[in-house]
Chain A
Amino acid sequence: MNISLILQMAADADPERIGLVCDGRRWSYGALHRAARGAAKAFATSDCTHVALLDESSEAAAIALFGAAMAGIPYVPLNYRLADADLAALLGRIAPAFVIGDADRAARLSPEQGHTIVSRAGFIVEAERLADTEGELDEPTEPIAVQIFTSGTTAAPKAALLRHTNLLAYILGTVEFGSAAPEEAAQVCVPPYHIAGIAALLSSIYATRRILLLPAFDPDAWLTLAASERATSAFLVPTMLGRIIARMDVVRRETGVAPDLSALQAIAYGGGRMPLELIEHALELFPQTGFTNAYGLTETSSTIALLGPEEHRAAFRSADPAIRARLASVGRPLPTVEIEIRDADGLALPPGASGEIYVRGDQVSGEYRERRALDAEGWFPTRDAGWLDEEGYLFLGGRADDVIVRGGENISPGEIEDVLRTHAAIADAAAVGVPSVEWGEAVCVAVVARPGHDLPSPDALRNLIKERLRSSRVPERILAVDALPHNEMGKLLRREVRKLFSGGSQGPTH
């Protein structure tokens, strides 16, 4: 089993059909497949142990991904936003690699590691040239398709390994081959080093759905591409959706005309917490659009649970609080995966009880270059906290490492944040545990006011939490901030929030 099958099948089915559009160039499945074969020949003759991409999204990402698979060499998309020292360390861990993209930077950071370094343009030209040369490729035997370095919040980044079998299990379990109608076009703006960027290429090519690649996200560029290419679907992280909606409001005010998103039938989102009021606003603004919330991890080959379009509308319309609440859930597990909530001793918990999310299925790798994280029965501990409702809808409660342990009691930051976000004057909130002599950890909260609103008094917020939760959840300190720190994928950086409370006064700051 090899993921190159995906591109091979699309090229066999309809070689002339346009599969990818990037920077004005339109790639047919046949042309992509030829370039991937040429790339595979370049990789196979280079003596590299890894194929690395150090670049924004472009056709080079697809050609390198499938070319590496054909050559039987793991593909490693690198985060070009990393600092020089961190990136140099990762380049050292994959040497000697065939590095594509920012050639100057790669050469400067790793001059004597035996890398083969080429620019994006040089790579494309060479791949297309080699496609027509003599020589067959050997049948690939390498089991690892993709290696992704995790962001590494506390220690060195881990090298997560995704096998061909994992990625194919995900694609075959979720996508019907060739199922896209001719007009379908998926707009992709997630970076290539993120699992969502890999999954987007695999899913759309297997569905023979045209990919509209946006190399770097910007609301205006996104709106322009969606209108000119008539995008029918898009994947966004919540921060991007918020910026697009804000930009649409401005364009409408300034020009009197709303940007043309008339072809857009579906928006999928994931990769970070979606503020409830943002998804509610989006559902009102795009009444004809199907929204899908996806939850997944690098180690699970992307999506393991999703909340589909009908479930969004049903929750949005419902007067039943339990059904309405599902708008804040990540939906139900895929039919091909199992999810369990377990306590600290590893025992399965009933619906409603919060614990660590465990997942099992063929798409779940749970494997790093350094170690395997699966237990004896094949379950992967996600380190995400959460709970399931009676109907099996999964609710996330933050990272298990983020659980606040106050006086021996486990507190999920999510439950406090959810309550605070229900207040009309609060746009966003983050709860963290800060070392405390008295409690071990004290609950501290950073809040962001909604524009045009004054923050409620600290006592009013404490009362709100006390009424809705328990007194142990009441924060010791409440800090007003202009914005919460998020990474480029919209993930809250809790370690940065914790720093806000280090070394300050003991009393309420706000």
Chain B
Amino acid sequence: MKPGAKLKSAVCDAEVIVIRGSDVVVECGGVAMALDRPAERAAINPAFAGGTLLGKRYVDAAGTVELLCVKPGQGSLSIGGAPLDVKAAKPLPSSD
């Protein structure tokens, strides 16, 4: 994976775009995401079934990976089994 790539969940409809980070395997619902969705859905791991929300940005603890959810799904995101967190929004006043 690299910035700009769109990763698709193997267990649900979720899709994310890579904002930051390279060469790590992102999982959704406990199963590795890929550029293409498999023909048959894999089973969701109940430990990673909290859901991924449209428009939210997800980051790892080290802050080296950032993903934008562009399609929501039932699976939740992790890297190497470590769950990703929703990045807190720092609202700016609209200037447009």
Tell whether A266 pairs with B94 under 8 Å between CB atoms, given A1-B4, A177-B56: yes
**A335 vs B93: C-alpha distance when bound (angstroms):** 13
Q: Which of B22-30, B43-51, B84-92 contacts A (4 or more CB under 8 A)?
A: B84-92
Contact A207 B90 (CB under 8 A): no
Residue A176 interfacial (CB < 8 Å): yes
Contact A200 B90 (CB under 8 A): no
Contact B71 A292 (CB under 8 A): no
Tell whether A196 pairs with B93 under 8 Å between CB atoms, given A1-B4, A9-B54, A165-B4: no
**A303 vs B56: C-alpha distance when bound (angstroms):** 23
List chain A residues, Cβ under 8 A from B96.
Answer: 186, 196, 199-200, 202-204, 235, 268, 294, 302-303
Q: Which residue of B lies closest to A178 (CB)?
A: B55
Contact B70 A306 (CB under 8 A): no
Secondary structure at the A interface, as helix, strand, loop or mixed, is: mixed
Secondary structure at the B interface, as helix, strand, loop or mixed, is: loop
List chain A residues, Cβ under 8 A from B33.
Answer: none
Residue A5 interfacial (CB < 8 Å): yes
- With both chains docked as a complex, state the minimum distance between the C-beta of B12 and any C-beta of chain A, in angstroms: 14
Residue A12 interfacial (CB < 8 Å): yes
Contact A176 B89 (CB under 8 A): yes
Residue A325 interfacial (CB < 8 Å): no
Contact A268 B93 (CB under 8 A): yes
Residue B32 interfacial (CB < 8 Å): no
0/1 string, B1-16, CB within 8 A of A gives 1:
0001000000000000
Contact B55 A335 (CB under 8 A): no
Contact B55 A292 (CB under 8 A): no
**A5 vs B95: C-alpha distance when bound (angstroms):** 21
List chain B residues, Cβ under 8 A from A9.
Answer: 54-55, 70
- Contact check: which of B54, B68, B89, B94 meets A12 at CB < 8 Å? B54
**A466 vs B71: C-alpha distance when bound (angstroms):** 63
Contact A303 B55 (CB under 8 A): no
Residue B17 interfacial (CB < 8 Å): yes
List chain B residues, Cβ under 8 A from A334.
Answer: 92
Q: What is the size, in residues, of chain A's interface with B at 8 Å between Cβ atoms?
A: 39
- With both chains docked as a complex, state the minimum distance between the C-beta of B72 and any C-beta of chain A, in angstroms: 8
Residue A221 interfacial (CB < 8 Å): no
0/1 string, B62-96, CB within 8 A of A gives 1:
00000010110000000000000000011111111
- Contact check: which of A200, A202, A204, A290 meets B93 at CB < 8 Å? A290
**A202 vs B94: C-alpha distance when bound (angstroms):** 12
Residue A172 interfacial (CB < 8 Å): yes
List chain A residues, Cβ under 8 A from B17.
Answer: 1, 5
- Contact check: which of B68, B71, B93 meets A306 at CB < 8 Å? B93
The contact sample of 28 A-B pairs, CB cut-off 8 A, is A1-B4, A9-B54, A12-B54, A13-B54, A13-B55, A172-B57, A174-B95, A175-B92, A175-B94, A176-B55, A177-B56, A178-B54, A178-B55, A186-B96, A200-B96, A204-B96, A209-B94, A233-B94, A235-B95, A235-B96, A266-B94, A268-B95, A268-B96, A292-B93, A292-B94, A292-B95, A296-B95, A308-B93
Known: A290-B93, A308-B92, A308-B93. 16 other contacts (CB 8 A): A5-B17, A13-B55, A172-B19, A177-B55, A177-B56, A202-B96, A204-B96, A233-B94, A266-B93, A268-B94, A268-B95, A292-B93, A292-B95, A296-B95, A302-B96, A335-B92
